[in-house]
Amino acid sequence: MIKKTLKITLFLIFFICGLCHAQEAGATDSFWNGIGKVASFGRPFWADMHSTLLRAEIAYATNSPDYDWGGFDTSSRFYIFSNLGVDIPVWSGDFANSRYGFNLTLPFMIDIWFDFFERTTSPVINTAYRFGAFEANFIYRLSSPIPVLPYFNIHNWSLKLSLLKHESTHIGDELTIYRKDLGLPITRIDVLSNHGELVFTLNDPDNQARVNHGFKFGLLLNYNLRAGWYGFLDTEADPEAVEPARFPFEFNIQYQYQSPLFYRGFQAIASAEWRLRQRYKYSFSYSGSKNEQLQNNPDIMENYESRNLVSSFNFFAGIRYDNQKPNYFSKTGVGARFYFGQNPYGQFRSMPHFRQFGLAAIFE
């Protein structure tokens, strides 16, 4: 798969190189000028759950004995979440008088769930690593906007293709020891996948300061059809307690609104994502009053346990400062996030009723 990805990538590079050199006389862009250049399009929306944006967040989220190292036994608790990511630019350029654009990137991100408020050791609960061999983005810009509704015009459409992405998640050392000492039936699940992704975008913001309503439609395909989304060692999980999760697809729809600039470069941002993915097929549990509620309503718990595919929703709203520069970290924002649905973190994705409300700072 890696060899095929490299071959296809090299073909795309030379194909775009030919297009660039075939431009009309007087064109300023060339293939060599595009090496390492940051593109104006193809960046993540705020509500993207697998984003390469930099984000630091303090959040009040659902608690569970599965990761309650300090034994607080409360239904919800405060946690720290951080996302460190970047789309490393390989090549970017526009051609045909900027009607078309193309870029190649190397996406990389680390997602950390940190129990800063546990006083003894402040354990790391989960870390996730995601990176891609190459990610190709193509955009077509309309010569003039197409009005659809009042304040809603179509400006462009784009495609993003990721032939090979890798995801690997790990729980923290303190949590592993804690779960092993308690003799829990599952100490650690080896969560990893190699997958491809295709995303269609209508109205990419394209680093423009205009009012924009953007939509993304994404499909992810897991290549590990036999193993599914995870595996385990017999010394770390009871085989009777774990079933494979092999549904290979994941779907998402995203929307993002940005206002025009106001007061020296500020914008209002509202972003949302719906994601449908498979629930991991092993047991989960809740803490505090939530656990008592489910014990008194076994029908609800049975309904949770029987779910195979779970819809998850992520909402983000805030203010962004945009200095209109094309480079990374030219936009800084603060906002509030609300998530509900399947627990999105690592081996804890067996929990279908997870909620998280947080305040975050974002760097684009």
| Rounded alpha-carbon distances, angstroms, from residue 364 to 34, 85, 158, 186 | 20, 10, 20, 38
Using one digit for the tens of pLDDT, what is the confidence trace for 327-338? 777 899 999 999
Instruction: Tell me the average pLDDT across 1-30.
Output: 53
Helices (H), the chain: 2-21, 173-181, 288-295, 298-306
Q: At 254, phi and psi to the nearest 5?
A: -125, 150
The answer on pLDDT for 279 being more than 60 is yes
- In the numeric block, the tokens 């499909």 are attached to 219
Using one digit for the tens of pLDDT, what is the confidence trace for 120-140? 888 999 999 999 988 999 999
Using one digit for the tens of pLDDT, what is the confidence trace for 138-173? 999 999 999 888 788 999 999 999 999 999 999 999
Q: What angle do CA 113, 48, 189 make, to 5 degrees?
A: 40
Residues in the chain: 364
Q: Which domains, and CATH codes, for the chain?
A: 2-363 (2.40.160.40)
The answer on pLDDT for 21 being more than 70 is no
Answer for the pair 10, 74: CB distance below 8 angstroms, yes or no.
no
Distance, CA of 297 to CA of 299 (rounded, Å): 5
Of the candidates 289, 274, 199, 282, the residue with the CA atom closest to the CA atom of residue 238: 282
Query: What's the mean pLDDT when you consider all of the chain?
Result: 89
User: What local confidence, expressed as pLDDT, does residue 6 receive?
Assistant: 54
User: What local confidence, expressed as pLDDT, does residue 163 receive?
Assistant: 93
Chain mean position to CA 212: 21
The answer on pLDDT for 10 being more than 60 is no
Of the candidates 136, 152, 154, the residue with the CA atom closest to the CA atom of residue 144: 154
Answer for the pair 48, 254: CB distance below 8 angstroms, yes or no.
yes
- This prediction's pTM: 0.90
Instruction: Residue 118: count other Cβ atoms within 10 Å of its Cβ.
Output: 18
- In the numeric block, the tokens 């919800």 are attached to 76
Burial class (CB in 10 A: 0-12, 13-18, 19+), 226: exposed
pLDDT band at 57, cuts 50/70/90?
very high
Tell me the two tokens of residue 15.
């194909």
pLDDT band at 107, cuts 50/70/90?
very high
Distance, CA of 224 to CA of 306 (rounded, Å): 23
Distance, CA of 141 to CA of 152 (rounded, Å): 16
The answer on pLDDT for 1 being more than 70 is no
